[in-house]
Structure 1
Amino acid sequence: MLNTSPNTISLSALPPLALYIHFPWCEKKCPYCDFNSHQIKDASAVLAGGFDETRYIKALITDLETELANTWGRQVHSIFIGGGTPSLLSAKGMDELLSAVRARISLEPNAEITMEANPGSVEAEKFAGFAKAGINRVSLGIQSFQDAQLKALGRIHNGAEAKRAVEIATKHFKSVNLDLMYGLPNQSLEAAKLDTETALSFKTPHLSFYNLTLEPNTYFANFPPKLPCEDEVDAIFEQNLALLTQAGYRRYEVSAYARKDQECKHNLNYWRFGDYIGIGAGAHGKISYPGKITRQVRERHPETYMSAIESKGNALIELKEIAAKDLPFEFMLNALRLTDGVATNTFSERTGLPLSVISKALSEASKKGLLDENPSKLKATELGLRYLNNLQEVFLD
């Protein structure tokens, strides 16, 4: 039955389901990073782990088991292991973790299984072990290939190590993504071009380009470096876009570029307002039911997270139902990041609400030239992508 009430949620089918696993440790906390990552205190112990791998993996498995009742019978389409620096895990630990995951969930055959990695923690033998454990996609946090820029960003690797990491990754994994930043401290147009051309020389199927921003509660927010002005950043972006387009990459999301059929399936699920189980310290999850959509948050600090799992069987600090009035903004916040947008009927399929609840906002966004007027698509115009925050804010009401 068609739901015509703007205040009740009624999903005719549940969306695709993914699994996110958070690994919270890093060798060094980067000055721009606002993710839930914690520097290993004993740097000399990094090679030996520097953290209790066995204890954390056990906590992750228990955490996953608490979610099975909420997702029973649903198949998981992708896994993303993010951080932090998941590549600090041992190959044996990764194999143990993924084996436990497969034993507890129904995982789609040939599912995309991504691991984030930093060039400073890349070892050929370990990467071979990760591939054997089931990782088939790696996302490398390159940020830049130039020593001066990497030093300014507080990265632990240099340009040569970044290039070596890409070469090792492409030998061991079916798909490789390179994360790069632009608008870096004192970055020139020519320096940005060199980074892009270096990234393109490896011919990886996927590239991500993020504009460096000063996030609250980071070192850079308190001690801001000199960044290029807005016009300079725009020029770097336009240059990147031209170089990537010429090389055969398509911009399919605000910061993501891919060759044909090489988009990140896991991230597409987020942007299309799919569901995801989130396990690990500070992990967020989103789970839909026929009559409601919920969000969850876990304990952020690794020690607090593990202690909570061990003492009470879960580490939830927040479990809430998303109010019907908040769903339009949450949906559009994600969907409008996609350059192709989404089919209009996806709104009702994923929120359980009638399209009429956003008809006024759709009209307003179209009049401003921010939203494509094609009635079969919810899609930002080029102007809308450029001023995405303004477009998304239209749906706050």
Structure 2
Amino acid sequence: MLTLPPLSLYIHIPWCVQKCPYCDFNSHGQHGQLPQQEYVDALLADLDADLGYVQGRALRSIFIGGGTPSLFSAEQIGRLLAGVEARVPFDCGIEVTMEANPGTLEHDDLKAYRAAGITRLSMGVQSFDGDKLKALGRIHGKDEAIAAAQSATAAGFNSFNLDLMHGLPNQSLTQALADIRQAGELMPPHLSWYQLTIEPNTLFYSKPPTLPDDEALWQIYQQGNQLLSQLGYVQYEISAYAKPGYQCQHNLNYWQFGDYIGIGCGSHGKITVPAEDRIFRTVKIKHPKGYLAALDVRYEVTDVAPEDRPLEYLMNRLRLLSPMPKLEFEQRTGLSSDLLINGMTKGAERGLVTDLGDAWQLTERGQMFVNDLLSQFCD
């Protein structure tokens, strides 16, 4: 039976200093003064239009992503969060994350962001190697990245995350492991460590850099995982590692097929309405000019048909390494877990998954070949 899942809020701030050559997110280079007050007003009007989706729930988490949200002042971020809380209640101990670029942070102002209501920072470091940062189009250097992490600790945030990429142009195993060691010295409670991929509609797609070959990538991944474990990080998701108790609650809600309202240009949302046996996704106006000029909040709504729910759930849930409860599948999709038996049985025969009785658990092999398991449900 379909039940109402936890609710999160995603807020998109689309501007950044300059577009990175690997980035396919909805981000736009800053040209002149940013319309901070006007955009915050538009975000709150956007939320007003979506209040019916709340359905009596409190917010479990908020994630302010971009772009580079730290281009907005702490004053405007505080006004935004106060406006959200005036409209939707917050869970006790709500996690409020803001993405930040070490090259745009005024480190003395980190305490101001914390006072504004941010409880967790996610900083796009990507690498501590100066040559690699230049190749990635980043505007910060190693020293700024280190200073930003140290300032986050000094400012007293509940947690902070460092984003690191591997498989960078001409990156060696030694260089990749050096990035992890440097990050570990800064003692972030959370690390996102993921491979650079070349996406369409990016500069790297039209002018591909030279990347490590498959054997080198495997060595980086295997030895990087071992080093992260030695440093006390537990992998709980395909590309996420945390000290015990510091998993990102917002991302956990995504991967557990929870609900989230998306506000801001190009933002996505997912909403469950149990009374109508309905799950649907929303997408807001993509371009900042169009978003700010809209007289009303317009967006696309796409229903997730019952026959599509199993694969959509699995594509999210199998990013997590924890057991997948059969009851959770039923509550989040409104369908019987018996629908998964044939696919999971085939997966078990290939050594990808184990049936624990009340849950399914990816094997170590299954963690490496999730797409092979998903393919059992694509017929």
What range describes the TM-score normalised by the shorter chain of this pair? over 0.9
Matched, 1:25 2:15: yes
Amino acid at match of 2:242: A
Q: Following the alignment from structure 1 to structure 2, what is the Cα–Cα distance between the partners of residues 396 and 217?
A: 27
Instruction: Classify the secondary structure of the residue corresponding to 1:379.
Output: strand
Instruction: Classify the secondary structure of the residue corresponding to 2:128.
Output: coil
| Conservation of the 8 A alpha-carbon contact between 2:102 and 2:123 | yes
Amino acid at match of 1:29: K
Q: After TM superposition, list the pairs within 5 Å mapping 1:342-353 onto structure 2.
A: 342-353=324-335
Instruction: Classify the secondary structure of the residue corresponding to 1:119.
Output: coil
Residue in structure 2 matching 1:135, options 101, 106, 118? 118
TM-score (norm 1): 0.93
Unaligned runs of 5+ in 1: 1-9
Instruction: Classify the secondary structure of the residue corresponding to 2:176.
Output: helix
Partner of 1:237: 221
Q: Following the alignment from structure 2 to structure 1, what is the Cα–Cα distance between the partners of residues 285 and 353?
A: 38
In the TM superposition, residue 341 of structure 1 has moved relative to its aligned partner by: 3.2
Q: After TM superposition, list the pairs within 5 Å mapping 1:315-394 onto structure 2.
A: 315-316=298-299, 318-394=300-376
The number of aligned residues is 376
Residue in structure 2 matching 1:250, options 221, 231, 234? 234
Q: Following the alignment from structure 1 to structure 2, what is the Cα–Cα distance between the partners of residues 360 and 219?
A: 43
Q: Following the alignment from structure 1 to structure 2, what is the Cα–Cα distance between the partners of residues 119 and 354?
A: 47
Q: Let me know the Cα RMSD of the aligned residues.
A: 1.1
Instruction: Classify the secondary structure of the residue corresponding to 1:297.
Output: strand
* Structure showing greater relative contact order (alpha-carbon pairs closer than 8 Å, 6 or more residues apart): 1
Q: Following the alignment from structure 2 to structure 1, what is the Cα–Cα distance between the partners of residues 43 and 84?
A: 9
Matched, 1:293 2:283: no
In the TM superposition, residue 55 of structure 1 has moved relative to its aligned partner by: 0.9
Partner of 1:154: 137
Q: After TM superposition, list the pairs within 5 Å mapping 1:85-100 onto structure 2.
A: 85-100=68-83
Question: Residues 243-276 of structure 1, C-alpha deviation per residue, up to 9 Å, x if partnerless?
Answer: 1111111000000001111100010000000000
| Conservation of the 8 A alpha-carbon contact between 1:338 and 1:379 | no
Residue in structure 2 matching 1:272, options 250, 256, 261? 256
Instruction: Classify the secondary structure of the residue corresponding to 2:76.
Output: helix
Unaligned runs of 5+ in 2: none
Q: Following the alignment from structure 1 to structure 2, what is the Cα–Cα distance between the partners of residues 187 and 26?
A: 26
Amino acid at match of 1:80: F
Q: Following the alignment from structure 1 to structure 2, what is the Cα–Cα distance between the partners of residues 139 and 376?
A: 35
Q: Following the alignment from structure 1 to structure 2, what is the Cα–Cα distance between the partners of residues 297 and 288?
A: 15
| Conservation of the 8 A alpha-carbon contact between 2:12 and 2:267 | yes
Matched, 1:228 2:212: yes
Q: Quick one: percent identity of the two aligned structures?
A: 47
Amino acid at match of 1:212: L
Q: After TM superposition, list the pairs within 5 Å mapping 1:10-49 onto structure 2.
A: 10-11=1-2, 13-40=3-30, 42=31, 45=32
Q: Following the alignment from structure 2 to structure 1, what is the Cα–Cα distance between the partners of residues 163 and 153?
A: 14
TM-score (norm 2): 0.97
Q: Following the alignment from structure 1 to structure 2, what is the Cα–Cα distance between the partners of residues 379 and 59?
A: 43
Amino acid at match of 1:118: N
Q: Which runs of 4+ in 1 moved over 4 A?
A: none
Amino acid at match of 1:362: M
